[in-house]
Structure formats: C-alpha cells, structure tokens
Amino acid sequence: MGLTGLEIYKHLPKTNCKDCGSPTCLAFAMALASGKASLDACPHVTEEAKGALDSASAPPIKLVKVGTGDHVVELGEETEIFRHDKRFFHPTGVAVLISDSEDVAAKAEAFEALEFHRVGMHYVTDMVAVKCDSGDAGKFKAAVETVAGKTKKAMVLITEDPAIMEAGLGVVADRKPLIHAATAANFEKMVALAKANSCPLVVKGEGLDATAELVEKIVALDYKELVLDSGARETSKVLADLTQFRRLAVRKKFRPFGYPAIAFTAKEDPREEVVQAGTYLSKYADVLVLKASGKQQLLPLLSWRQNLYTDPQKPIAVEAKLYDIGAPTEESPVYVTTNFSLTYFIVEGEVESSRIPSRILSVDTGGISVLTAYADNKFSAETITAAIKKSGIEDKVKHRKLVLPGHVAVLKGALEEESGWEVVVGPREASGITKFSKENFA
Ligand code: SF4
C-alpha cells in the first residue's frame, strides 16, 4: 500500500526551501503521494528517508523490458486506469504463439512476414511466443533455435519445467526473452534462471491472492523484473483480474501488483479469439499472447492498439502538403481538404478509387476535421490560399480550378476572391468523390 502525504511528509526535511518546485514540503509530499512528483526533485532528502520513501516514489507499475536492441518491447509504467485521464504509454506487446509440436519453421516465417500498412501507419507484431507442448527439452530447444533464426523480435518462452526452460534459454538468453512462468511449485528454480540470465519473469499464481503472495516471495529473493499472470483463462475472469491488477497498482499503490500483466487468448473460434484478444488489449494486458496469426485477425487488433495508445489530447494529423495520387499531370484535378488523418485518408481512398490521377492539397488545420476547422477559422479562404502558395501547386498545374468539400461551400466566393482560383464545390461526403470525379474529370 502506498504512503499517504502526511506519512511522506514526516520523512522530508521540512525546510520549505522550494528547490523541488513545490511551495512547501507538505505540498511536495502530497504531490508525491498522488504520483505527480518524483522524489528525485528534492535534493535534500537523506538516504535513510529515500529508503523509507521508496514505495511512494516508485511508479505505480514498474517498467519491464523484453528483448534487446531495436526489438526491445517496453511494458508497464502506466499511470492511468482510464485513457482520457492522461494517456497510456507503452502499447501492449502482441505475441503470436508457436508450439514446439507444430511446423515451427513455417509458422515463424509467416510470423516474420506479418506487416500492415493502414492510413499511413505501419503495423507489425512485436513479439513471438514459443511454447513447449511436447514435454521434450530437446524439441523445445530446437523450436526456440528455429524461431530465433527466423526473427529478431522479442520472445516469450513458455514452459513451467525449469529444466526445459534452461534448455530454451541456452539458445536465446542473450536476447532477454520473457520467461513464462514461475509458479508456487517451481519459483525458486525459475528465479535462479531469470537472475542468472537477467531475463524478465512471469509470476503465475492461481488467483489474485496467490499471485500477490508469490510476487512477495520472489521479491524477497531480490528479483523484481516481473510480469503478472493470475492464471485465469476464462474471459470474464481474466478481465476482472487484469482490472484488479491495474486498479490496485494505480489507485492503492499495492506493490505486489505494481508490475505489467500478461494475458492469453483461449477461444478456438478465430472470430471469438479476436474479440477476446480485443477485450484484454483494452483492459489491461501489457503482453497479449495469441494463437491467431492470420492477417485478418491481427489487423483489427493492431489498429485498435494504435488508437488506444495515441495521446487523446493530440489530434492525429498527416503532413500538410500537396499529395500526388497516381501520376498527375498539369491538367489533373486538385482537391483540398484538412490534415486530420482520418479525413485525409478517406479522401485519398475515394480519389484513388476514381482512377483519375489527381492532387490533394492538405491544409494545416492542426489535425482537425473540415467542419471543426471551418468553425475555428483554420479552414478558411486565407488558410487555403496560404496553403496553395506554399505548396508550389501553381507551378505544377496549368489550370486554376480547386475542388472544395461540399460542407464548406459557403467559402466559395471568399476563396475565389482571395486565391484567384475557380472553386468547384465538391460532394458533401467523401463517399461521393468517386462519382463526382468521373462526372467532372473523366
Ligand atoms: S526541496 Fe525538499 S526540503 Fe525543499 S521544499 Fe521541496 S521537499 Fe521540502
């Protein structure tokens, strides 16, 4: 349990010197208790007090790293229960499961080839999990070796048998895989392996209380690179346990749950598995291990992850500039829209569908949509004219004809006057662009 502000205050120098940026030591203590300040900000705190305040100054959820080099996946260090309160920081590591009893090479190759491009974003799965289903250390070691040879991405090794885990680690310990799992029956040996190889370790309990007890035993062995697994595999139970991990860590600073958490999908039906995975991704899995490896399953999950881990206070924008669609000529049509990424990519998709080479002028509206930007005077005759001049389009087309979104047809007169271009009012919705384009420019 975290310390209260008054308990923290007792350990501070009480000089009110303001060097920490707070007006008083009490204000600093309150900020520390609520996770809004770091103990490092006070240069006068004694070593003795630092020890006593360790739990108050530590982040509610520890940062744990899996993998090495460019393929490190950072887990945890989250501070919020609800994204809109601030933001989530470290996207869930999505791991595709490979059993040592299947065609390991083929699945590893398919895994490595997984990548997606959507609305200007590039998505990849960032982890691969190798599971021992054979019960054979040699077979597991060979599977780990095969997977490690096909991909450099972060790995999870899954077996509760310390001897089999040791065989797998013998191949990839230098890549700092996540070890799954220490249980009540094997934790001393698993901790020894994790310590010897400096690898993060999953603590798998049977329920929340047992998980907390096991974490405390492992911390007493002086190992803290931990990830939590309550042992549940049924959707509602997993969701409840993940929620309790996050709530107790963030709200109560309950130290045994102050670590990232892992979840496994269990559904056999591919569509149900995606729904189950989406549930865990939303609340609050830091690592998600999937049996699914199809593009059609992973794309929605990775898209959802991308949305969830953006900063809700910052609109998603594309670069404000002139975009070529196809190979436009000096006669090609020119569309204008905002740099809100969703708007831009919808317009781009519709213009592409027309199969008429064109240009799209994306105006810097701070990443907000057409009507909002118009209401805020960011999509106006002046801003569009400035974008025309800056883009260099006047050197690229012979004509002076611009297609304006139908929702802001009211700008037509002012824009023609300001820019000297003829303004053609386009459809109100982007879905009408293809038809409009064929009717006007084919
Ligand atoms: S720097 Fe330390 S001693 Fe000075 S006001 Fe802040 S908490 Fe108090």
Domain map (residue ranges) of the chain: 5-57, 63-308, 322-441
Tokens encoding 308: 């969830």
**254 Cα to the center of ligand 1, angstroms:** 26
Neighbours of 432 (CB within 10 A): 13
What CA–CA distance (Å, rounded) separates 348 from 346? 5
Asked whether 37 lines ligand 1 (CB < 6 A), one says no
Q: Read off the tokens for 375.
A: 């209401």
Specify the range with the lowest mean pLDDT, choosing from 74-78, 251-255, 411-415.
251-255
Query: For 198-243, how does the pLDDT look when each residue is reduced to its tens digit (9 = 90+)?
Result: 999 999 999 999 999 999 999 999 999 999 999 999 999 999 999 9
332-351: per-residue pLDDT in tens? 999 999 999 889 999 999 99
Q: What pTM was computed for the model?
A: 0.76
47 burial (CB, 10 Å; 0-12 / 13-18 / 19+) is exposed
Assess whether pLDDT exceeds 90 at residue 436: yes
Ligand 1 contact via 252 beta carbon (within 6 Å): no
Check whether 119 has a pLDDT greater than 80: no
**Domain 5-57 sits in CATH 3.40.50.300:** no
Atom of ligand 1 lying closest to residue 45 CA: 2
Strands of 195-344, DSSP E: 201-204, 226-229, 262-264, 287-290, 322-325, 334-338
Given a cut of 60, whether residue 1 has pLDDT beyond it is: no
- How far, in Å, from the CA of 40 to the mean position of ligand 1? 11
- 322-441 has which CATH code? 3.40.50.11600
3-state SS assignment for residue 336: strand
CATH topology of domain 63-308: TIM Barrel (3.20.20)
The verdict on the CB of residue 337 being under 6 Å from ligand 1 is: no
Residue-averaged pLDDT of the chain: 93
Ligand 1 centroid, distance to 38 Cα (angstroms): 12
Looking at the chain, the whole-number percentage of residues with pLDDT higher than 90 is 81
State the pLDDT at residue 117: 80
Q: Give percent of the chain above pLDDT 70.
A: 98
Q: Whose CA is nearest to atom 8 of ligand 1?
A: 25
Mutate to test the pocket of ligand 1, among 6, 12, 24, 26 (most ligand atoms within 8 A of CB): 12
The answer, yes or no, to whether any atom of ligand 1 lies below 6 A from the CB of 38, is: no
Segment 372-393, tens digit of pLDDT: 999 999 999 999 999 999 999 9
Atom of ligand 1 nearest to the CA of 18: 5
The confidence score (pLDDT) of residue 56 equals: 64
Does 389 sit in the ligand 1 pocket, CB within 6 Å? no
How far does residue 31's CA lie from ligand 1's centre (Å)? 12
Max Cα distance, the chain (Å): 79
pLDDT, residue 57, reads 66
Candidate of 8, 11, 15, 57 to mutate for ligand 1, largest count of ligand atoms within 8 Å of Cβ: 15
Note the pLDDT of residue 55.
Answer: 62
In one letter, which amino acid is 195? K
* Mutate which of 6, 11, 16, 26 for ligand 1 pocket (most atoms within 8 A of beta carbon): 16
Across residues 283-308, what is the average pLDDT?
92
Angle at 129 between CA 211 and CA 90, to 5 degrees: 70
Query: Does the beta carbon of 5 sit less than 6 angstroms from any atom of ligand 1?
Result: no
20 lines ligand 1 (CB under 6 A): yes
pLDDT at 244: 97
The model's confidence at residue 180, banded by pLDDT at 50, 70 and 90, is very high
Q: Does residue 30 have its Cβ closer than 6 Å to ligand 1?
A: no
Q: Which of 33-37, 170-174, 240-244, 359-363 shows the lowest per-residue confidence on average (mean pLDDT)?
A: 33-37
